[in-house]
Amino acid sequence: MVVHSATLQINEAMQARRGRGEPVVHLGFGEAGLPVLPEVAEVLRQSADLNSYGPVTGDPHVRASAAGYLTRRGIATEAPQVLFAPGSKALLFALMTTLPGDVVLPTPSWVTYAAQAAMTGKEVVPVPIPAGCGGVPDPELLGPALTAARADGVAPGIVLLTLPDNPTGTTADAQTVKRVCEIAQEQGLVVVSDEIYRDLAEQPQAVTSPAALLDDHVVITGGLSKSLALGGWRIGFARTPATPWGDELMHQLVGVASEVWSCLATPMQAAARFVLDDPDVVTERVAASRRLHLAVSRAMYEVFVESGATCRPPSAAFYQYPDLEPLRDGFARHGAHTAAAAAALLLDRHGIGVLPGDAFGDEPEALRFRVATSLLYGEGQQRLDALTSDHPAHLPWIAPALDTVRHALRELA
């Protein structure tokens, strides 16, 4: 059975609490929480009359824009290597249905990968992430995990990387990505690199894409849901290699696309084209968003670390993945011994919504949680003020959320 995605579920629980007038600190949903850039909204308005089905791949102009976008980020790409879809989630699903073999997932990793693997009849080979970063399997553990999986009759064919990562808010360093790519190549695995957070890394140009290291058997997925906060517009794209293997994969993906979504909505293609050409107004908005996300994420990280929790320092997007093991006695006093019970306690007692690590494939007993700070920026003008603030974590509509978490953790300590 396919269950309701954990992230969407907590979002609904928090909305219900809010609806009852109860205070909430919503740290459970990875939505970018910022307004649409007016210039992008204007492009969409101007495109409302585009009502024909377009080519399944996306029209040649928007494919060329995505190719330019990737090329400017160090991944030389031509338009025919790009496929658009209503969200990168759809593309990840198409890849799961198309690529043979089971899936190696870093643990923890984004909730949807394992769910999609299950839906497409694939086994998951979980491999813990390294101590320093998430989004990749620990290269030291990857080889032995593959050997053990094969001995169990599992046939790994894909390794999925998230660069930068959700849930940890970190980016694997170049050396680690290189090592994982070498193992993938030696072992005949296709690398799928989910780079939807790339432009929200502290140093986007320092993010090493596997596509810069491997000429073949590597696919990038990306989109505008995070960097431009356009999740509801559903704009995603994938890049396949310029090789016979890549051409064949593109052919198969287009087959899936043609039978499932037909094409990315044509007005959205116009919006994507505008954004992916990297006009200054977009570059500036993405830079301001990156600053805001990191400032608030780091402020929340400090709150957790002050409480005694351990956590990888966030360097991308709007996530932290604290380990509250040092507070275990405090949770136990309230009868909470698992991440799910601890998350329920934080919600019931303090109105704080976080996602337990087991939603990301982590051990249910470990007191690890994904914390997303991107819904703390307020409403309307507040969000615009947050985007331009030098100290957004001190703003009067953001600081109280940090205080609520600080007090809750103190009470548990």
Ligand X SMILES: Cc1ncc(COP(=O)(O)O)c(C=O)c1O
Binding site for ligand X (CB under 6 A): 30, 87-89, 110, 162, 166, 194, 196, 223, 225, 231, 236
Q: What is the CA radius of gyration of the chain?
A: 21
Closer CB to ligand X, 321 or 331, in the complex: 321
Cβ neighbours of residue 401 under 8 Å, at least 6 residues apart? 25, 376
Decide if 159 contacts 192 (C-beta within 8 A): yes
Question: What is the closest distance, in whole angstroms, from the C-beta atom of residue 151 to ligand X in the complex?
Answer: 30
In sign, the C-alpha dihedral spanning 320, 325, 328, 329 is negative
For helices 266-276 and 60-72, the axis angle rounded to 10 degrees is: 30
Question: What is the closest distance, in whole angstroms, from the C-beta atom of residue 88 to ligand X in the complex?
Answer: 3
| Residue 48 DSSP symbol | T
| Rounded-to-5 percentages of helix, strand, coil across the chain | 50, 15, 40
Question: What is the closest distance, in whole angstroms, from the C-beta atom of residue 167 to ligand X in the complex?
Answer: 8
Closer CB to ligand X, 28 or 330, in the complex: 28
What is the H or E stretch that residue 197 is in? none
Question: What is the closest distance, in whole angstroms, from the C-beta atom of residue 272 to ligand X in the complex?
Answer: 11
Closer CB to ligand X, 221 or 389, in the complex: 221
Closer CB to ligand X, 110 or 369, in the complex: 110
Question: What is the closest distance, in whole angstroms, from the C-beta atom of residue 356 to ligand X in the complex?
Answer: 16
Closer CB to ligand X, 130 or 330, in the complex: 130
In sign, the C-alpha dihedral spanning 69, 223, 191, 204 is positive
Question: What is the closest distance, in whole angstroms, from the C-beta atom of residue 31 to ligand X in the complex?
Answer: 8
> What is the identity of the amino acid at 111?
V
Closer CB to ligand X, 154 or 372, in the complex: 372
Closer CB to ligand X, 65 or 88, in the complex: 88
Closer CB to ligand X, 217 or 370, in the complex: 370
Rounded distance between C-alpha atoms, residue 125 and residue 119, angstroms: 15
Compute the CA torsion angle 185, 188, 189, 195 (nearest 10 deg). 30
In sign, the C-alpha dihedral spanning 296, 299, 305, 311 is positive
β-pairing, 25-26 with 352-353?
parallel
CA 227 vs CA 164, 288, 369, 370: distances in Å:
12, 10, 23, 19
Count the alpha carbons within 13 Å of 244 in the hemisphere toward its beta carbon: 0
Closer CB to ligand X, 161 or 212, in the complex: 161
Question: What is the closest distance, in whole angstroms, from the C-beta atom of residue 365 to ligand X in the complex?
Answer: 25
- The b/e string for 83-104 (b: 16+ C-beta within 10 A; e otherwise) is bbbbbbbbbbbbbbbbbebbbb
Question: What is the closest distance, in whole angstroms, from the C-beta atom of residue 194 to ligand X in the complex?
Answer: 5
Nearest-CB residue for ligand X? 87
Angle at 55 between CA 262 and CA 271, to 5 degrees: 90
Question: What is the closest distance, in whole angstroms, from the C-beta atom of residue 223 to ligand X in the complex?
Answer: 4
Closer CB to ligand X, 168 or 389, in the complex: 168
Question: What is the closest distance, in whole angstroms, from the C-beta atom of residue 16 to ligand X in the complex?
Answer: 21
Rounded distance between C-alpha atoms, residue 342 and residue 123, angstroms: 29
